[in-house]
Amino acid sequence: MPSTNGDPRGSVIETSALTKRYGKHAAVDSLSLTVPRGSVFGFLGPNGSGKTTTIRMLMGLIEPTSGRATVLGRPMPRAQRAVLPRVGALIEGPALYGFLTGRENLLRFDAADPTADPRTRRARAEAALDRVGLTAAAGKKAKAYSLGMKQRLGLAVALLQPRELLVLDEPTNGLDPQGMREIRALVRELASDGTTVFLSSHLLDEIEQVCTHAAVMARGRLITQGPVEELAAGARGRLVVTTPDTADAARVLKECGVADVEAAEGRVMGEPPASQAVLDLADVNAALVKAGVRVRGFGVERASLEDAFVALTGEGFDVAG
């Protein structure tokens, strides 16, 4: 299993055998996780895989049944008061005051922070609104906000003060494609400023686009963790042939030992044998041409996190949510 384990001083989150049970059901089962300092860490898994329960334990919102967790080098939930002022969090959707405007919500949350300087409160609120693209809607009551706008406002709350760690639970939930791109760009910007970002998501492409490291959860258990590139590299890529002659191409690939051959919209895909070498792939291409297949494109596509998940669990993944 790929791992990010290393010097604990280089990590902002560590768990060891962290477990949360509800009766006989283990929502999180013996989780050992390491989040490197300075990373954009994707916490990936289908809905119901234990991601939010883990985050709630990390933030001290619920007690673990067993195991331990440290955040910023301090044990949680025991050091909650010392740790949380250094952490910005958006968990299970923002808890907003619907009767207040977006701007008034931020001012209220900032006023509740004992470390916040009241003299610069309004400037901080305006800067946070601008950063998440809500300046134009700042005077509208939060109850009139769309789900995506509420997500943005919740993120603005987390950004009122500089934070060492930002914990985001499904931050692009409810956003349109443009909004999702903007939030991803913001996450990259925050990371470049030195903030470690812990981002929970059930969207594989979201993790691949923005994260440097990831952990994959399924049914409450950790499947694997490590740098995103290494996780994807652990799965074999797929051989892809672009051709108008899909039926003939599929037949030739099967004869050459390619497994799980599928044809769709001018493309034929399959999994090359584990022993397949570059020279063998050239032979496959030659066999296609000899059979009269018009080859418009031929190569092996890099494996994705979805491929890695399927290879590790034998299950599909809800990519689109």
**For 269-287, how does the pLDDT look when each residue is reduced to its tens digit (9 = 90+)?**
887 766 554 447 778 888 8
The predicted pLDDT at position 319 comes to 43
Q: Extract the tokens encoding 156.
A: 């603005």
66-71, strands of its sheet edge to edge: 25-36, 11-22, 66-71, 74-76
pLDDT in tens, 135-157: 999 999 999 998 888 888 988 99
Confidence of residue 4 (pLDDT cuts 50, 70, 90): very low
Q: Which of 152, 171, 157 is nearest to 91 (CA)?
A: 171
The predicted pLDDT at position 285 comes to 85
The answer on pLDDT for 228 being more than 60 is yes
Torsion over CA: 248, 254, 258, 263 (sign): positive
Q: How far apart are CA 153 and CA 179, in angstroms?
A: 13
Q: How far apart are CA 146 and CA 288, in angstroms?
A: 53
The predicted pLDDT at position 273 comes to 66
The predicted pLDDT at position 71 comes to 96
Label residue 151 exposed, middle or buried (CB < 10 Å: 0-12, 13-18, 19+): buried
Higher-scoring residue by pLDDT: 237, 218: 218
The predicted pLDDT at position 121 comes to 95
Q: What does the pLDDT average to over 225-252?
A: 81
Q: pTM of the predicted model, to two decimals?
A: 0.72
Mean pLDDT (the chain, rounded): 84
The answer on pLDDT for 6 being more than 60 is no
Give Cβ neighbours of residue 229 (< 8 Å, ≥ 6 apart): none
Confidence of residue 2 (pLDDT cuts 50, 70, 90): very low
Q: How far apart are CA 314 and CA 260, in angstroms?
A: 14
The predicted pLDDT at position 91 comes to 82
The answer on pLDDT for 242 being more than 60 is yes
Q: Identify which of 85-94, 131-140, 146-155, 182-191 has the greatest average pLDDT.
A: 131-140
The answer on pLDDT for 303 being more than 70 is no
The answer on pLDDT for 239 being more than 90 is no
Domains within the chain, CATH numbers bracketed: 8-233 (3.40.50.300), 238-302 (3.30.70.980)
The predicted pLDDT at position 202 comes to 80
Q: How far apart are CA 199 and CA 128, in angstroms?
A: 19
Q: Identify which of 27-41, 228-242, 244-258, 299-313 has the greatest average pLDDT.
A: 27-41
Torsion over CA: 229, 232, 238, 240 (sign): negative
Percent of the chain with pLDDT over 90: 43
Confidence of residue 183 (pLDDT cuts 50, 70, 90): confident
